[in-house]
Amino acid sequence: MKTIKTLSILSMVVLGLLTLLTTSCTYEELIKPKVEVPDSVKFSINVIPILNSSCNTSGCHSKGGIPPNLAAADAYTTLTFFGYLDLENPEESELMKKITSGSMKQYATDQDRALILAWIEQGALDN
C-alpha cells in the first residue's frame, strides 16, 4: 500500500514537472525597433563617423594598420578601388558581408549597417 501511495505521489510530481516544463518554454520574439535612415546618406557626414568610431582605430583599420585602410582621408578610395562595394547588389558588397555576418559584425550597430547599406544603394558617392 505504501509503494502504491509513493508511486502515485511520484507520478503526480513528474506529471507536474513535465507540465511546468512544457508550458513555461514559450518566449516572445524580440521586435527590433525600425532603424531610421535619412533620405540622403552622405559619406562625410554619415559613413566616415561610423568608420572612425568602429573601424579606423589604433591597431585596426587605420593607416599603417590591418588592411583595408579605412582612415578618413583614404577610406573612400580604399572601398571603391579595392572592390569592397557592389553597386549592383549592395547587400552583397564585401563591406556589407563583413559588418552583417562576418568577423566585424560585433563592431557595427543595426543603425550603422542601415546607413552604410543606404549609402551604397544611393551610389556610394564621395560626398
* pLDDT tens digits for range 19-48: 666 665 566 667 777 888 899 999 999 999
- Per-residue model confidence as pLDDT tens for the chain (127 residues): 667 777 677 777 777 666 666 665 566 667 777 888 899 999 999 999 999 999 988 889 989 889 999 999 999 999 999 999 999 999 999 999 999 997 888 999 999 999 999 999 999 999 9
- Residue 24 is predicted with a pLDDT of 59
Residue 95 near residue 101, CB atoms below 8 Å: no
Write down the residue that cell numbers 569592397 correspond to.
84
CB 36 within 8 A of CB 119: no
pLDDT of residue 7: 66
Q: How far apart are CA 79 and CA 68, in angstroms?
A: 8
pTM, rounded to two decimals? 0.74
C-alpha to C-alpha distance for 70 and 76, rounded to whole angstroms: 8
User: How is the chain split into domains, by residue range?
Assistant: 43-121
Predicted local confidence at residue 113, as pLDDT: 96
Note the pLDDT of residue 56.
Answer: 87
How far is Cα 48 from Cα 74, in angstroms, rounded to an integer? 10
In this structure, are residues 8 and 84 in contact, taking their beta carbons and an 8 Å threshold?
no
Cα distances from 106 to residues 45, 99, 116, in angstroms, run: 22, 8, 15
